[in-house]
Chain A
Amino acid sequence: GAVVSQHPSRVICKSGTSVKIECRSLDFQATTMFWYRQFPKQSLMLMATSNEGSKATYEQGVEKDKFLINHASLTLSTLTVTSAHPEDSSFYICSAGRTRSTEAFFGQGTRLTVV
């Protein structure tokens, strides 16, 4: 299967700082990537759809100014959590697929802890 790499796997930051998470498709080009958030014992909730060369599409209730998404190339999308607060602590996972409606592949996830 395809490989999606996410970095970092863990990050601890101070409240008020910003954190950038990278998602790379290593062996295929992804015009669309997805960012999910997962709280303990909960399912994955889609935050936004990242489109190469254009603005991201955010799900209802997700603050676009707080969660900045940049999809600068066909193999890289970044999620920046700006002015992080303890309530932003969560597990963030990205995914990508080769084409519409085919198998989705996920990164390893990033555990963000804001102290």
Chain B
Amino acid sequence: KQEVTQIPAALSVPEGENLVLNCSFTDSAIYNLQWFRQDPGKGLTSLLLIQSSQREQTSGRLNASLDKSSGRSTLYIAASQPGDSATYLCAVHLVGGSEKLVFGKGTKLTVNP
């Protein structure tokens, strides 16, 4: 059974800092990995999608890496801003007939001005 773990559960940083969020998964047989942002009481906003054959994806100040063999992904946020405060979720797309995503519990990020 695929399990996704995110560390840390919560993180508080001053504005301007660079930071890394971690995601690990137990089964390397994945189609892709997706990072989402969730604001309180809101739905999910897709940030980055990394296919299983890729090692990283970048979008603006965000960079996500994937090491499928070791079951790890990181989300790097450069020059953090208070508007980055949210919960960040990592999810893996399973191989083998199902299209469902398995989610981690998320990392709650607070960027202090």
Interface residue ranges, A against B (CB under 8 Å): 1, 6, 32, 34, 41-46, 49, 91, 93, 95, 97, 100-109, 111
Query: Looking across the interface, which residue of chain B has its beta carbon closest to that of A93?
Result: B43
A-side interface mostly: strand
Given contacts A101-B93, A106-B36, is CB(A43)–CB(B106) below 8 Å?
yes
Closest CB-CB distance, A3 to chain B, in whole Å?
11
Cβ of B25 under 8 Å from chain A: no
Interface size bucket, B side? Answer: 20 to 34
The B54-113 residues at the A interface (CB cut-off 8 A) are 89, 91, 93, 98-106
A1 close to B46 (CB less than 8 A): yes
Given contacts A46-B100, A101-B93, A104-B101, is CB(A6)–CB(B34) below 8 Å?
no
**Residues of chain A lying within 8 A (CB to CB) of residue B31:** 101
A111 close to B41 (CB less than 8 A): yes
B46 close to A43 (CB less than 8 A): no
